[in-house]
Amino acid sequence: MRKIRIFEHISLDGVIEHDKNYTYGGWTAPYRTAEGMAMLLEAYGTGFDLLLGRRTYDEWLGYWPNAGDFPMANGINAATKYVATHRPESLKWGPVKNLSEDIIEELRKLKSTDGPDLVLSGSISLTSLLLDAGLIDEVVLIVYPVLLGRGKRLLSDSFDARELEFVSTLATPTGVLLNTYKHLGSLKK
């Protein structure tokens, strides 16, 4: 049985936006280290597939296929990309599969199959939807020691409260924390 694992690079105040059009687009770059990359590679594991929203797929298409020959790029490029999109005919970076209109049911079926874990990154609407549906097994937050004030946040405004259980934390020399949590379900009142 596969797990669905969220991986998000996030500021201390919950901002995940870091594309080139964002005011502080390169905010993660000064904190990158070889130790941090090694921790991230270990957390991803040796084999994984990707679960992406369409915007994240398009952003990653602009970078990862031409990123060069190194472990993270090789893993991301080799992974099957399961994409939530209404334009499946334009998916060209593969291996790739379009998720059907009923994303929740399709992911329930996919989780029940043998195969690598599914890593979800970047999509706030997909992240919120799958947490609310109870499909997420683990949340990995790569927390940077910055406060950005504004930008896209990890969860949508309509998100329902969830409970997590702490699993582990690792730190890089630049203060980036790799925090891993198990998803337990709805937050009890």
| pLDDT tens figures, 122-138 | 888 889 899 999 999 99
- The whole-model pTM stands at 0.90
pLDDT at 181: 98
d(CA 183, CA 83): 22
pLDDT at 96: 94
Least confident of 26-35, 37-46, 106-115, 150-159: 150-159
pLDDT range class, residue 174, cuts 50, 70, 90: very high
Cβ atoms 37, 44 nearer than 8 A: no
Domains parsed from the chain with CATH numbers: 4-186 (3.40.430.10)
Adjacency order of strands within the sheet including 81-84: 96-98, 81-84, 48-53, 117-120, 4-11, 138-144, 177-186, 162-171
Which tens digits make up the pLDDT trace of 97-121? 999 889 999 999 999 999 999 999 9
